[in-house]
Amino acid sequence: MDLNYPALPKSARCSTRIIQSWCPHTPAGDSLCEALATLQLALSDSTADSIEACLDCLLKALLLNNAEASGKMAEAQVLSQFPALLDPQTSCSSKAAKIIAEVSKNDFMRSSCVDAGLIPPLVRLLHCEDQEVLLQTGRALGNICYESQSSKEQFASTDIAGELVKLLQRQVEHEKKEMILEVLAPLAENDRIKLQLVEAGLVECLLELVEQTVDGELEEDAVELKTASDLIVQLLLGDESMQKLFEGGAGCVFQKVLSWVPSHSHQLQLAGALAIANFSRNDANCILMVETGIVQKLLASLERHVVDGNVTVQHAALSAVRNLAIPVVNKSKMLSMGTADVVLKLLPSEMPVVQFKLLGALRMLIDTQAQAAEQLGTNPVLVQRLLEWCDAKDHAGVMGESNRLLSALIRHSKSKDVVRTIVQGGGVKHLVAMSTNEHVIMQNESLVALGVIAALDLDVAEGDFERSGLVQVLHRLLSDEHSAPEIQYNSMILVCSIMGSEPLHRAVRNLPFLDLVAKLRAHENQTVARQASLTEQRLTVQG
């Protein structure tokens, strides 16, 4: 066959000697550069046999030392010649695709593959009927796009989504379906490609795979079920693709996912809960889903796994519950369904990922819900567990969420009973420490909670305020010119609130608070400036 390869510039020909290494008919020992030069010469001379032989040599070199051989190929800039080798009409397209698949296993080669213009011809090869060509093309595409943002952007400008979906629909053999799914997974990390895949009908195809494998007894059925359901969840991570599949709650994909939550398959239970968590990323969806009865299904799933301790399902279901509880109108509905009671059954869990989601779910549920906040805030088992987790220095997320829930119980209940339960349990020191957190929102939440404590039961908290150095912390916050306006405002409110305690009043007098608030009277934020004037008056009057 005469191959119409473009001639190379002479500068690209690093050697004119015939290859003496890596080929089956030559002794090993000479440099790989000779093999590359021979390939370049063969390309320029359009010699089919010598091209095939050189590709065999390169494959041998990659097998012996992939990283070194790939680096040599990059230096010789030989990849720029590969688009011609990927022509479906050539006899060597399979070997060329295999070389690209091997080369692109290396992180440092993926951008080179993109820069060499290999993506368009590889995508075109997906039309090929030759199964070996398809296999190697799939491997090459999967490796190139693995953790490579630039390649995914290039793929988004091709029709790879449609081609891969058509290819998947034609496959019967497990290995080939799995190969295509492995290519699709990294591609689906790109939001543009997510939408293209949804529009190409991938989700419907994946749902068929799920139906075919959910009751399968073979190991390959379990693998295919996991890959397909995981990919559906991944497609829902894109806002546009998620909303397209939701279809106002009437989408067939959404309806099918609802049926997964009570499934006998743990994989589908997990995927169903994760999918619901992804669908519940905006208030409108959340409100509609709570009305459909999805909460009851999630709670039933959580109850089933309290005993068996399936951490992945617990984590996913709690994520969904938390998201669904964000809209204000959903909170009272979910509380009336017993959501908090079911979530509390997971308190004994020793898994940080479950603890973190559990805390977030409870915090969302009690937001603005005074009665629920009081019930939980006077629950000694919950409060004790929170105080333990407030010291979980090895798990910053759990520690942060515990502090936030502790503060929320006080702020939303405004209950003297809750204040006493938390103060007597030793919660004040955690709230004071939280007021110096790097996150302004956490600082502010703690200051408001401390203000509620001071207003409702200063006598009970007085000793803990002293021991935790509250007055000194407030002085530091007001001294810091970088403190946010809300931090300065609530710090001054708290200073005024603790003046009724003699020892705390004395501690305030011993620090130059008057000078600080006098400066804040000129603050550009009028709310801060007004509170500074009021605080100055209070400090002056009470001396």
Does the residue 298 lie in any domain?
yes
Question: Which pLDDT tens digit goes with each residue over 26-62?
Answer: 433 344 666 676 666 666 665 667 788 888 888 988 9
Mean pLDDT of 95-123: 92
Does the residue 349 lie in any domain?
yes
Q: Residue 256 has what pLDDT?
A: 92
* pLDDT of 3 higher than 60: no
* pLDDT of 134 higher than 50: yes
Q: Which of 48, 20, 53, 47 is nearest to 34 (CA)?
A: 20
Does the residue 27 lie in any domain?
no
Mean pLDDT of the chain: 89
Q: Which of 157, 172, 161 is nearest to 209 (CA)?
A: 172
Mean pLDDT of 212-232: 93
Q: What's the number of domains the chain is made of?
A: 1
**Nearby residues of 424 by Cβ (< 8 Å), 6 or more positions away:** 460
Predicted model pTM: 0.84
Low-confidence winner among 106-120, 226-240, 410-424, 487-501 (lowest mean pLDDT):
106-120
Does the residue 56 lie in any domain?
no
CATH of the domain at 277: 1.25.10.10
Integer Cα distance of 192 and 478 in angstroms: 47
Which of the four pLDDT bands, split at 50, 70 and 90, describes residue 118? Answer: very high
Mean pLDDT of 354-380: 97
Does the residue 347 lie in any domain?
yes
Does the residue 193 lie in any domain?
no
**Nearby residues of 110 by Cβ (< 8 Å), 6 or more positions away:** 104, 143, 144, 145, 146, 147, 148, 151
Does the residue 92 lie in any domain?
no
The C-alpha torsion from 175 through 181 and 182 to 188, rounded to 10°, is 180
Mean pLDDT of 117-136: 89
* pLDDT of 368 higher than 70: yes
Amino acid at 514: L
Domain containing residue 258: 253-367
Mean pLDDT of 439-463: 97
Q: Residue 32 has what pLDDT?
A: 65
